[in-house]
Structure 1
Amino acid sequence: MGKVIFTVIVLLFAGITINAQSNLRISGTVYDKSDKEAIGQAGIRVLNAKDSTYVSGTSTLDNGQFSISVKPGQYIVGISFLGYKQTFINADVRKKSAALGDIMLSDDGILLGEAVVTAKAAEIAVKGDTVEYNADSYKVQQSAVVEDLLKKMPGAEVDSEGKITINGKEITKILVDGKEFFSSDPKMASKNLPASMVDKLQVLDRKSDMAQMTGFDDGEEETVINLTVKKGMKQGVFGNASGGLGNKDRYGVSGIVNYMLNDNQFTFIGGSNNTNNEGFSDNAGTSFRGMRSGGLNFGGNNGITKSSNGGFNFAITSSPKLKWGGNIRYGHAGNDVEASSYKEEYNSNDPKGNQFSESKSWGNNKSDNFSADLRFEWTPDTLTKIIFTPNIQIGSNTSNQYSDKLVRYEVDTLNWGSSSNWSNGDSRSTSARLQISRQLGKPGRVLSLSLTGGFNDLKNDGMTWSQTNYKTETGDSLQIIDRKSRQENNGYNWRAYVSYVEPIGRNNFIQLNYTYRKNHSEADKKSYNLDEYEQYTVVDTTATRKLENDFVNQEIGLNFKSVRPKYNYTIGVAVQPSSSKSWTTTTSRTSYVSNNVVNFAPVAQFNYLWSKRHNLRLDYNGSTNQPSTTQLSDVRDESDPVNITYGNPDLKPSFSNRFRIRFQNFNPEKSSALMLFGGFTFSTNDIVQKTYRLESGTKETTYDNINGNWNAQLRLIYNTPLRNKKFSVNTMTFTQYNNNNGYIDATKNTAKTIGFGESLGMRFRTDILTQTSDNSSLEFMLRGNVNYSNTTNSLSGQDDQRILSYGGTFSTNAYLPYGFMIDSDITYSANNSSQSTYKLNQWIWNATVSKDFAINVKQKSYGTGTLKLTFYDILQQRANISQSTDPRAFTQTVTSTLPAYFMASFVYKFQLFKGGAKMSDMGNMQQGPGPGGRASGGFRGRPPGM
């Protein structure tokens, strides 16, 4: 009996062993050797090592992984994918499973050359958190710049002021091969860099330097574009120069020269025009914006702007350990603008009803600014990283404004008058940041330090003249103001931050951080009226004051982060004790306000990843906003007798809770993308204005806390080609709801606004076969949009405010034989507002005809040229109107803009690359993929027969 039992046990163990051995596996992960991107759907064949007979096969998942079951033995594993060299690896699985690890496939130049004739590279790919657009998939003119390329891409929008948004997110920087290009001014790159240099355009949410060092998000994430340069253009000189003249004295000249030597880049930029094409941010004008009376909005698409700019950008890799670069820039801008404004302010107590204001304004603004930004990145060893970023800005600004204004009820006039303002000022500021990070032995254990400091100084001289007529029961009264003022604003700030990260267990991390911040600011304004000798010597007590503020903030934070293959999350909380001391000094008294508070700022983040192309992100953070010195000071500002303001010393800090959701799913093989963005914000002790109206029409404004303000929004974006890939559609649906509490004549009013927007577009592209060797094509795009909002007020007697706007755009691009191109776009815009006094109903038609040609002398190439004839606003209907509503008022402004014109211009492009290569050798953007054209990269689909 014992022998029988022993025999049974032996047989059982033998069966288990045989079964285990029959379940041995061969596994691995397949990557592209050039960019380390996982390759999905690669073919895996298992061959017998003795005679190479086929045993089994499979294909890799989207993440490049594969696992295949085999019997014990010796095998040869073949890995293949169209456009790559086939790879064979020996696998010994006689005793245990074989893990082949990371398998790198190299491009097969010959096979790739054959493949691209019949297959087009994907327009959109996803690498981790980066969305990558293949630039050669979008046809643009030979003389096009990056902005023209962006306008072709699904999900990308460029507005009239050059602001770039992609999939609903604003772009704050443009990088070139990972290096910053003119810091935080994306227009310098989008409006100047040639599109022909771009190989890939990558969009990513980039974390701050400190967040990358610590591994913990610090809330300073920004959406940036990285332009990868075509490989053949990384050793040589290329650029372009253009000049144009038009009717109505329009002109435009510009030039750019790029010198690239492997990882070193040098760029010179310059230009001048009077067609509102600034191509840079007006830092000087922005510095003085809050000091201008009258409220005219200069720059952008308002009025007519003459601008000139020049700059130098560089990025140098001195060694593998040291990288440095930066930019120097000068800009001048002059802007002339006219505006008419209409405002209806709701009135809860006055039996005469709401109050109406109508004004007309004229203004001129001139500014000059100089800025320099540098960045040094040093990694002395593999455990240490040091980043130093100093910058300086110098600017000057001169502004002139004149306005006429009328304030009335439905029938009765309250006051009317005119005013003029002049100001001239200079500003300067400088700052620097030093960041150091050191890994302390154990992977993930990191100590980081950041030191930041800076100062600013602004001086501004101004003149104000106004006359106001008041209608009273005893007759009209006249008040004249003739005042000269000088304002000096200065301050300094510094901040110290230290972070310690300790790994706990498996892929868990805990962070302890501390921040100390000190800000000091002074605003000293002295105003004088005329004396009996017509000299400005009499101190104006209503407008002379000095504000001083010392603010100290500390933060102690504790965060926990966990990383798993399919998800990761972060939770934390910060304690923020702060102290604020403010002094307001006038000719008669000094007001002192002290405010000491302790705030709590929680944070939470959750990311779930089905794959790198398919993920969900949830965010929450809470933050405290301190009232400003002006909002806390009870000293009355009566410099404008019609609008008197003063603060409230009893104001409490406001606290905001923000929730965000982001879902995205990309299918690069189909070039389709689905994205969902949502947000919800609610505030406690929100700081709002509180206005009291007097019989004369004068308004007194102060501040108060209020609860119940919240808003929610949801945006859905979907882009996809249709079945034959010549047609593609993209849609964006947007909805929001705002619950906004405020005060009307000290009475609480709740304005509830619901909004809806829809934008639907279709694009068609096809190649045209001709008798010539040219690769001609036709492209058209049709887009329609509608936006609707409705606001209801809780106070009785206040009508609903409805704003409806709608329109559409039809554009065509025809690339014709012999280098001709026709580009045309027609846009229709209309609005229908219940409160509006101006109904917009306009057609705007722009068109360009151009001819590209080679410049050859005695069979030697000297570059290429483009002749262009551009017609702007052919139907002469362009208008510039904005409308807004809130719990207190409805406002509408119509601003002058650039009138219709046409311009003839010439663009010259030159290039000189190592070995004498020409631009056409790099894959000319003018041709793009199509019959006989070459698409960059391999075709990533399932290989034939798999």
Structure 2
Amino acid sequence: MDLSKILVLVLLFLSNILFGQSAPPIKGIVVSENKTPIEYVSVALLKQKDSTFINYTITDAKGEFVILNAPKDSLLLQFSYLGYVTHFESINYLNKPIDIGEVILKEEAYELDAVTLSAVIPIQIKEDTIAFNANSFKVNSSDNLETLLKKLPGLEIESNGKVIAQGNQVTKIYVDGKEFFGGDPAIVLKNLSADAISKVEIIDKKSDEAELTGVDDGNKQIVINFTLKKSKKNQGFGKASAGIGLDSRYFGNLNYNKFSPKTQLAVIGKYNNINITGSNIQGFLENANGIADESDDDNTNASKTKSLSGYLKTGVSGINISHEFKEKEAFNADYFYNLSDNRGTSFSKRISFSNSNNFDYEADNRFNKVSNNHNFNFNYKNKSNSTNSLTIKGRLNSDEIMQNSTRDGFYYTEEGDLETSNSQDYSNKNTKKSLNLNINFYQKLAKTGRSFSVGFKTNISEQAKDNEQTTLITRNIDSDNPTDTEIFALRDETFNNGLYNFNFKYTEPLGHNHYFKLESSLKVLNQNEDIYQLKTTLTNDNAEELLTFKYNNREGSYQNRLAYNYSTKKLNIYAGIELQELDRSFGVITEDPFNSNQFYLNPFSTLQYKPKNGVKYRLVYNRKIRSPRTSESSTVINDLNPFFIRKGNPYLKTEKIDDFSLIANIYNYKSSLSFTSRIKYQFSKDAIIPNIDIDDEFVRTRSYINSGERQRLTASFNFSKKIKGIGIRYALKNSNFYNSSTSLINLQLNDVVSKDILFGLSLENANKNVIDLKLGTNYSVNNTSFSIEQDLNRIYKKQHYYSAIDYDFTEKLNFNTQFDYFVFSDNQFATNLKLPIWNMAISYNIANNNNILKLVLIDLLDKNVDFERRSTTNYFEETTSESLGRYIILSYTYRLGSRNKQKS
């Protein structure tokens, strides 16, 4: 029987077993001292002898609660609600229904903090904050924060590392309310230990202006705040790990933290040759669906691969310092260094169509890429004054990338005859330095609701690219007289960019929650290019072609917004019109520049409705003006690669984009229900589309034109709920993508429609004290159709079945394993792929859990492969890359600064 069918049967079998269990209920009603029912009271069920957490629920609008799935034992009920004294009730459960009647909560004599979690309540809510008790979610001593977040309902970490909460991308991550390594989610989640955290807060954070003035402008962002355990504060803590394995595999990790009420210090380090960047191995098994962006598509760029591909050596070091001078005035700075050395091989197959002469392409690739990145962030915030606030943020970045690659390519006619081959050796050195600075000042004026703000933002960068490429071309291979051409190309490029943005905002109250807003901004962009290119045809007496030029692109945008704002706790309306003047001047500096000056009216609106806690709807509309990028409008040809020539179109018009989005978030904390949905629609006029010409010698020349309309629709739905009585949470997800675009290929318009749909189902147990079980499946289909080559319409399917077990045999001995099974199929490629991935780990804690031995077994079936498929407007391809394959490592971890656990 096929493995995918076996996994489906296992899913059904386990769900039937789990769904068949139930127990008589424990119920009651919670009221205040004046007999008023209290909603959202957290009710936890514990064992009396050791206070072990069993289950929990939340009261409804009538103050009623019901707990199912209780064990036969002496139990304890804990009632917890913000602003009230925690109450306990003892019961003796004999597997019979219990009605404890009315429970009266007494008010606290003082106001509690915004979010306070009992030691056992898994979740609580307060206004715009959802707080999870980290102790209620099983993590191992070696897990990082990324592992913890994956266990929380309503959160998702995508394969590219983005964190999605409540249907929105998380923009910042804080530790104890302070930025940690610039708030970069990737750095924080991969390098801080999960067992140091007491609670996780998902905050729908107001803008700095709204926090100061008290007027909600609807401009919120989702942030995550991790609160440290009390035992981790005012002392140093962290971990030092080292491991060694077969085939000379090794790794070393270090993180050390010391947090006091006023100062934070964190140091991290990492060095390994096991392809570890912080995520687990499955995170890199992603496949391109839909229509891919061709903006950086280049046949010479063979090193453009997933970080798991080939063999990756990684080195990381960083330090973060934060200090609070006084309440609401703090400074934060961090430095982060990242080294990666990635090498390997891959094989690509491409089906290309050009209207008149379709062809197939295959390539063997070898690559080596070494990058060094230095990043320094600083952040100053002063909100100590009740009438004004100041924020200053900055970033200094330095990158150096060295890459060498070799690609042997083969071009076949539709009949399967080998017509042309090329061998390309490519060497590139890319260095870039940049400075980002953002300053914002907010002032609240005497009249309630009246305020203004000023801001300045700049991004200055310089970049140098040194490119060398040697190409050996053999044409007419099947003929009696094949010809060889060898070309050496040298291209040195220097870029200097400056972006300056000034803005001013003023808010005038009109009375009864109505406001008038005026916003003005001036954006100036200045880009300079200095290009030197020399091409030598070695098989033609070293004939040379020299190209040198200096290119400048200047763009100024002046925008004024007149807006109306209505703001209450439940409803927020923000709508208006933007007046935009756009001025552009560009071209080679020794020639007459191309000039344009245009004026636009851009409407915008936001409607947000929050009828009650846990429910939010948000509708947003914007019209955006997209100027042609420098590469799209450049007047100079880039023919460094003789098989992929790029040039711009200086006569391009701006693209007008109407952007609609609808977001719905519903959380019912009594039933543990979570529903998030996001629908986004974009409609473009005068769309900038590729203009592709492919000649009989397979040379592709790409430019751009304005042509008609482009449509894009994305929709995602996520639903999860805990099933009463059986301790099981299930999750359903669905995502859909529709993209309609056009390209011009050999003078004929090609309409491309891409449709993607994904369905997912997962099951997991709710009580994870001893064992954490999860199993599920994802099924996705991509359907791409082309108007000029309908017989090449593509249907690509991906099936993913997975299961994971994390079990504590004892307090010291832990076992976990994860099995993933992928099935890839494609009607245009005969090589369908079935890929099983099996990982396993066994860990043992020694000496008060301060020392950990761990045996890690990765890719036990030794598949040694990474797989990618992509579609573009005139070809689709599949690439199979070598990966690290199976390895086994034995590691040792020492907890730094740990204290012995005190007995209850």
TM-score category by the smaller chain?
0.7 to 0.9
**2:340 counterpart (288, 310, 333):** 333
1:252, distance to aligned residue in structure 2 (A): 0.8
Read off the aligned partner of 2:329 and give its amino acid letter: L
8 Å Cα contact 2:153/2:720 also seen in 1: yes
1:883 is aligned to 2:872: no
1:130 is aligned to 2:108: no
Residues in 2 aligned to 1:433 and 1:289: alpha-carbon distance in whole angstroms: 29
Task: Report the counterpart of residue 554 of structure 1 in structure 2.
Answer: 558
Task: Report the counterpart of residue 748 of structure 1 in structure 2.
Answer: 749
8 Å Cα contact 2:491/2:640 also seen in 1: no
Deviations 1:18-51 (A, max 9, x none): xxxxxxxxxxxxxxxxxxxxxx9862344xxxxx
Residues in 2 aligned to 1:384 and 1:535: alpha-carbon distance in whole angstroms: 72
Read off the aligned partner of 1:829 and give its amino acid letter: F
Task: Report the counterpart of residue 523 of structure 1 in structure 2.
Answer: 529
1:786 is aligned to 2:779: yes
1:356 is aligned to 2:357: no
1:393 is aligned to 2:397: yes
**Aligned residue pair count:** 807
Aligned pairs for 1:375-524 (under 5 A) are 375-379=379-383, 381-411=385-415, 412-471=417-476, 475-524=481-530
Q: 1:566 to 1:399 in 2, by over 3 A?
A: same
Residues in 2 aligned to 1:211 and 1:84: alpha-carbon distance in whole angstroms: 25
8 Å Cα contact 2:212/2:444 also seen in 1: no
8 Å Cα contact 1:615/1:665 also seen in 2: yes
Residues in 1 aligned to 2:650 and 2:532: alpha-carbon distance in whole angstroms: 24
8 Å Cα contact 2:83/2:108 also seen in 1: no
Task: Report the counterpart of residue 343 of structure 1 in structure 2.
Answer: 350
1:370, distance to aligned residue in structure 2 (A): 1.4
1:530, distance to aligned residue in structure 2 (A): 5.8
Task: Report the counterpart of residue 804 of structure 1 in structure 2.
Answer: 797
1:482, distance to aligned residue in structure 2 (A): 1.3
**Any idea what SS the aligned residue of 1:639 has?**
strand
Q: 1:421 to 1:82 in 2, by over 3 A?
A: closer
1:132, distance to aligned residue in structure 2 (A): 2.6
1:327, distance to aligned residue in structure 2 (A): 0.6
Read off the aligned partner of 1:489 and give its amino acid letter: F
Q: 1:749 to 1:889 in 2, by over 3 A?
A: same
8 Å Cα contact 2:218/2:574 also seen in 1: no
Q: 1:734 to 1:447 in 2, by over 3 A?
A: same
Read off the aligned partner of 2:598 and give its amino acid letter: V
Read off the aligned partner of 1:794 and give its amino acid letter: S
1:325, distance to aligned residue in structure 2 (A): 0.8
1:148, distance to aligned residue in structure 2 (A): 2.0
1:826 is aligned to 2:833: no
Residues in 2 aligned to 1:195 and 1:315: alpha-carbon distance in whole angstroms: 21
Residues in 2 aligned to 1:845 and 1:426: alpha-carbon distance in whole angstroms: 39
8 Å Cα contact 1:157/1:166 also seen in 2: yes
Residues in 2 aligned to 1:66 and 1:825: alpha-carbon distance in whole angstroms: 41
1:582, distance to aligned residue in structure 2 (A): 0.9
**1:577 counterpart (571, 578, 581):** 581
1:127, distance to aligned residue in structure 2 (A): 3.1
Q: Which region of structure 1 is more displaced relative to structure 2, 166-175 or 497-506?
A: 166-175
Read off the aligned partner of 1:867 and give its amino acid letter: L
1:904 is aligned to 2:904: no
1:244, distance to aligned residue in structure 2 (A): 0.5
Provide TM-score, normalisation by structure 2: 0.83
Residues in 2 aligned to 1:470 and 1:908: alpha-carbon distance in whole angstroms: 62
1:59 is aligned to 2:26: no
Q: 1:155 to 1:809 in 2, by over 3 A?
A: farther
Task: Report the counterpart of residue 75 of structure 2 in structure 1.
Answer: none
Aligned pairs for 1:864-943 (under 5 A) are 864-911=850-897, 918=899, 920=901
Residues in 2 aligned to 1:83 and 1:62: alpha-carbon distance in whole angstroms: 7
Read off the aligned partner of 1:519 and give its amino acid letter: L
8 Å Cα contact 1:591/1:635 also seen in 2: no
Residues in 1 aligned to 2:807 and 2:485: alpha-carbon distance in whole angstroms: 63
1:157, distance to aligned residue in structure 2 (A): 3.7
**Any idea what SS the aligned residue of 1:836 has?**
coil
Task: Report the counterpart of residue 761 of structure 2 in structure 1.
Answer: 760
Aligned pairs for 1:56-205 (under 5 A) are 57-61=35-39, 82=80, 121=121, 123-158=122-157, 162-166=161-165, 168-205=167-204
Q: 1:215 to 1:624 in 2, by over 3 A?
A: farther
1:679 is aligned to 2:680: yes
**Any idea what SS the aligned residue of 1:300 has?**
coil
**Any idea what SS the aligned residue of 1:630 has?**
helix
8 Å Cα contact 1:608/1:617 also seen in 2: yes
Read off the aligned partner of 1:465 and give its amino acid letter: T
8 Å Cα contact 2:303/2:369 also seen in 1: no
Task: Report the counterpart of residue 648 of structure 1 in structure 2.
Answer: 649
8 Å Cα contact 2:858/2:887 also seen in 1: yes
8 Å Cα contact 1:527/1:539 also seen in 2: no
Task: Report the counterpart of residue 239 of structure 1 in structure 2.
Answer: 238
Q: 1:528 to 1:648 in 2, by over 3 A?
A: closer
Read off the aligned partner of 2:155 and give its amino acid letter: A
8 Å Cα contact 1:632/1:648 also seen in 2: yes
1:270, distance to aligned residue in structure 2 (A): 1.1
**Any idea what SS the aligned residue of 2:631 has?**
helix
**Any idea what SS the aligned residue of 2:135 has?**
helix
Task: Report the counterpart of residue 248 of structure 1 in structure 2.
Answer: 247
8 Å Cα contact 2:684/2:710 also seen in 1: yes
8 Å Cα contact 2:250/2:272 also seen in 1: yes
8 Å Cα contact 1:155/1:730 also seen in 2: no
**Any idea what SS the aligned residue of 1:848 has?**
strand
Q: 1:107 to 1:670 in 2, by over 3 A?
A: farther
Residues in 1 aligned to 2:557 and 2:161: alpha-carbon distance in whole angstroms: 37
* Larger-gyration structure (1/2): 1
1:421, distance to aligned residue in structure 2 (A): 1.1
Read off the aligned partner of 1:416 and give its amino acid letter: S
Task: Report the counterpart of residue 12 of structure 2 in structure 1.
Answer: none
Q: 1:157 to 1:902 in 2, by over 3 A?
A: farther
Q: 1:360 to 1:546 in 2, by over 3 A?
A: farther
Residues in 1 aligned to 2:437 and 2:427: alpha-carbon distance in whole angstroms: 34
**1:293 counterpart (272, 283, 300):** 300
Deviations 1:851-883 (A, max 9, x none): 11225xxxxxxx711110010000112531122
1:826, distance to aligned residue in structure 2 (A): 0.7
Deviations 1:788-842 (A, max 9, x none): 1222223354332101111210111111124101101110000111112432201
Residues in 1 aligned to 2:386 and 2:313: alpha-carbon distance in whole angstroms: 50
1:215, distance to aligned residue in structure 2 (A): 7.7
Q: Which region of structure 1 is more displaced relative to structure 2, 508-517 or 661-670?
A: 661-670
1:493, distance to aligned residue in structure 2 (A): 2.2
1:620 is aligned to 2:659: no
8 Å Cα contact 2:319/2:336 also seen in 1: yes
Q: Which region of structure 1 is more displaced relative to structure 2, 151-160 or 505-514?
A: 151-160
1:836 is aligned to 2:843: no
1:66, distance to aligned residue in structure 2 (A): 11
Q: 1:86 to 1:331 in 2, by over 3 A?
A: closer
Q: 1:782 to 1:244 in 2, by over 3 A?
A: same
Q: Over aligned residue pairs, what C-alpha RMSD do you find?
A: 3.4
Identity of aligned residues (%): 21
Residues in 2 aligned to 1:67 and 1:802: alpha-carbon distance in whole angstroms: 52
Provide TM-score, normalisation by structure 1: 0.79
